[in-house]
A and B are shown apart, each in its own frame.
Chain A
Amino acid sequence: MSNGTITGAGNPGRTIDTVRAGLDRRYRAERRFRIYGLSAIVLGLLFVSILFITIIGNGYPAFQQTYVKLDIDFDPESLGIGDQRSNAALSGANYQALVRNALKVRFPDVTGRSDRRALNSLISSGASYQLRDAVLDDPTIIGTRRSVWVPADDDVDQLVKGHMDRAAAEGDRRLKDNQLAWLDQLQADGAIEKRFNTTFFTAGDSREPELAGIRGALMGSVFTLIVTLALSFPIGVATAVYLEEFAPRNRWTDLIEVNINNLAAVPSIVFGLLGLAVFINFFGLPRSAPLVGGLVLTLMTLPTIIIASRAALKSVPPSIRDAALGVGASRVQAVTHHILPLAMPGMLTGAIIGMAQALGESAPLLMIGMVAFIVDVPGGFTDPSTVLPVQIYLWADSPERGFVERTSAAIMVLLGFLIVMNALAVLLRKRFERRW
Chain B
Amino acid sequence: MDTVSVENEVIMADDGIVKPVAGGRATIDRDNRETVGDVTAKNPRMRCREVSVFYGEKQAIHDVSLDVGSNEVIALIGPSGCGKSTFLRCLNRMNDTIDGCRVIGDISLDGDSIFDTKMDVVQLRAQVGMVFQKPNPFPKSIFENVAYGPRIHGLTRDKTELEAVVHTSLDRAGLLDEVKDRLGEPGTGLSGGQQQRLCIARAIAVNPEVILMDEPCSALDPIATARIEELIDELREQYAIAIVTHSMQQAARVSQRTAYFHLGDLIEIGETNQVFTNPHHQLTEDYITGRFG
Task: Tell me the A residues contacting B by CB distance below 8 Å.
Answer: 248-249, 317, 319-330, 333, 337-338, 342, 434-436
Contacts and interface: CB of A to CB of B under 8 A. Distances in A.
A436 B202 contact: no
Q: Count chain A CB atoms within 10 A of each CB in B130, B136, B186 and give the residue with the most.
A: B136
Residue in B97, B99, B129, B203 whose Cβ sees the most chain A Cβ within 10 Å: B97
Contacts of B132: 319, 322-323, 326
Contacts of B140: 434
Nearest to B212: A326
Interface in B97-150: 97, 99-100, 122-126, 129-132, 134, 136-140, 148-149
11 contacts: A317-B136, A320-B136, A323-B138, A323-B202, A324-B138, A325-B97, A326-B129, A326-B131, A328-B152, A333-B152, A436-B137
Contact of B136 (A322, A329, A342): A322
Contacts of B131: 326
A330 B136 contact: no
B125 A328 contact: yes
Given A333-B152, A436-B188, A342 B139 contact: yes
Contacts of A333: 152
Please classify how large the interface on chain B is, using the bins under 10, 10 to 19, 20 to 34, 35 or more.
Answer: 20 to 34
A337 B131 CA distance: 19
A321 B202 CA distance: 14
Contact of B206 (A317, A321, A325, A327): A327
Contact of B122 (A249, A320, A329, A434): A329
- Identify whether the interface residues of A are mostly helix, strand, loop, or mixed: helix
B188 A435 contact: yes
A317 B131 CA distance: 16
Nearest to B123: A328
Contacts of A248: 99
B103 to A, nearest CB: 16
Nearest to A245: B97
A323 B122 contact: no
A319 B94 contact: no
B283 to A, nearest CB: 30
Contacts of B138: 320, 323-324, 338, 436
Given A327-B149, A327-B202, A435-B188, A322 B94 contact: yes
Contact of A327 (B97, B123, B129, B186): B129
B99 A327 contact: no
Q: Which 4 A-B residue pairs are closest in the complex by CB-CB distance?
A: A319-B136, A328-B126, A327-B149, A328-B125
A434 B139 contact: yes
